[in-house]
């Protein structure tokens, strides 16, 4: 029997959707200014809305995708609810949405088995559609150019560094006047792919000094405060003098918070699209066929000069087969448009545009989706 999504879930998702009418006028798309890749893209538009849920880190990118899809396919839209990667996986495997968004691919075992069942016995694919640098964000009045190392970040979350003028931080910032105030670390309290990737980064970049892993962040005993969602940790830092967190670049960037440079051993590197792009260029794909899961250690362990290594990939989890024909058509159309969204708009929103060498692989995978 072909898969039919649970229509009851559609109404519940409506409150969180991103529609064209809700978008700011500064990023509106018209046929006249549509980027060339999208303008020249051949798309067989679907006939029904695409319903999706998951990663809050890709929220603003999905907003851009939605506007582009509505322009390319008038009357169509992506109804995306940003609830976090854990809920995105759960909604996808339960058949409540057409695709799920997660900052971590489906885990081998229970998750891949549940996804296969949901896809009527066919494997699900992880397609990296959004590359988002993770910013180390801080609220420290008077300090505009903070430098941190992987080791100092790990020690902050382990409770070993508790004040901003700690000698280890001062050594990385010899010319800065660091205040003697408490560091107030915030982390995601919900299951989060951002947390999973950030912990992988810390473990890789510190050669195992950090031992936490998984979607639940594992701070030291009594260290920091948990907040739900990317909005939650960003807002907490903005409201707290001495606050510190990890968050998708778009959020602290839009909030006007400080963003630390990272010194991985080859000198400080500030977060820019160019420095994040250098990390993405070094990424390797470890998935098979059209399952494009990445070997993130090839990103997180990159200590070359000019590389900003804390970059996560947000995957769209899709059925390779098993959709009903109308859903398959709509999902393919929406994701083809997403892969060709305006790179300048993505950069403005705090994302690294899809690298060319990945774009062809992504398009190949999307085109292979079938009923």
The tens-digit pLDDT sequence of the chain (371 residues) is 334 444 333 333 333 333 333 333 334 445 656 889 999 999 999 999 999 999 988 998 999 999 999 999 999 999 999 998 899 999 999 999 999 999 889 999 999 999 999 999 999 999 999 898 999 999 999 999 999 999 999 999 999 999 999 999 999 999 999 999 999 999 999 988 889 889 999 999 999 999 999 989 999 999 999 999 889 999 999 999 999 999 989 889 989 999 999 999 999 999 998 899 888 888 889 999 999 999 988 999 999 999 999 998 899 999 999 999 999 999 999 999 999 999 899 988 888 887 777 788 899 999 999 99
How would you class 231 by CB atoms within 10 Å of its CB: exposed for 0-12, middle for 13-18, buried for 19 or more?
middle
Could you say which DSSP state residue 25 is in?
A: G
**DSSP 3-state assignment of 110?**
helix
Residue pLDDT, tens place only, 218-239:
999 999 999 998 899 999 999 9
The domain that contains 226 carries what CATH number? 3.40.190.10
Q: What is the dihedral of CA 41, 59, 138, 347, to 10 degrees?
A: 10
Tell whether 304 is covered by a domain: no
Q: What is the pLDDT at residue 5?
A: 42
CA distance 75 to 46: 10
Is the distance from CB of 121 to CB of 322 less than 8 angstroms? yes
145 lies in the same domain as 240 = yes
C-alpha 3/C-alpha 322 separation (Å) is 6
Q: Please tell me whether residues 147 and 241 are part of one structural domain.
A: yes
Annotated binding site for phosphate: 55-57, 85, 103, 192-194
The number of domains in the chain is 2
Structural domain of residue 205, as residue ranges?
Answer: 134-277
pLDDT at residue 21, rounded to an integer:
31
Same domain flag for 117 and 160 = no
* Structural domain includes residue 155: yes
């Amino acid at each position: 029997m072909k898969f039919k999504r649970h229509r009851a879930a559609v109404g519940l998702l409506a409150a969180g959707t991103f529609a064209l009418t809700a978008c700011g006028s500064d990023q509106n798309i018209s046929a006249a200014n549509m980027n060339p890749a999208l303008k020249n893209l051949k798309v067989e538009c679907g006939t029904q809305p695409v319903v999706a849920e998951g990663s809050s880190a890709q929220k603003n990118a999905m907003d851009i995708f939605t506007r582009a899809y509505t322009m390319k396919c008038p009357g169509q839209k992506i109804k995306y609810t940003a609830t976090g990667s854990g809920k995105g996986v759960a909604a996808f495997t339960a058949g409540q949405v057409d695709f799920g968004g997660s900052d971590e691919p489906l885990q081998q075992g229970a998750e891949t088995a549940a996804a296969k069942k949901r896809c009527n016995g066919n494997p699900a694919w992880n397609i990296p559609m959004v590359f988002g640098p993770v910013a180390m964000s801080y609220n420290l009045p008077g300090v505009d150019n903070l430098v941190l190392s992987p080791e100092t970040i790990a020690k902050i979350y382990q409770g070993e560094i508790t004040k901003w003028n700690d000698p280890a931080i001062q050594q990385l910032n010899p010319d800065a006047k660091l205040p003697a105030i408490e560091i107030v670390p915030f982390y995601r309290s919900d299951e989060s792919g951002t947390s999973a990737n950030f912990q992988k980064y810390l473990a890789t970049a510190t050669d195992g000094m950090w031992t936490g892993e998984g979607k639940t962040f594992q701070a030291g005993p009594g260290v920091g405060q948990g907040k739900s969602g990317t909005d939650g940790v960003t807002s907490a830092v903005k409201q707290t003098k001495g606050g510190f967190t990890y968050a998708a670049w778009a959020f602290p960037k839009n909030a006007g918070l400080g963003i630390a440079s990272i010194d991985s051993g080859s000198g400080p590197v500030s977060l820019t699209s160019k420095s994040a792009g250098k990390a993405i260029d070094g990424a390797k794909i470890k998935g098979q066929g059209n399952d494009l899961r990445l070997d993130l250690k090839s990103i997180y362990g990159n200590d070359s000069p000019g590389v900003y290594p804390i970059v996560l990939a947000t995957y769209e989890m899709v059925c390779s087969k098993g959709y009903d024909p109308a859903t398959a058509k709509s999902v393919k159309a929406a994701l083809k448009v997403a892969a060709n969204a305006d790179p300048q708009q993505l950069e403005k929103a705090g994302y690294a545009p899809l690298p060319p060498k990945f774009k062809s692989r992504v398009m190949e995978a999307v085109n292979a989706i079938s009923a």
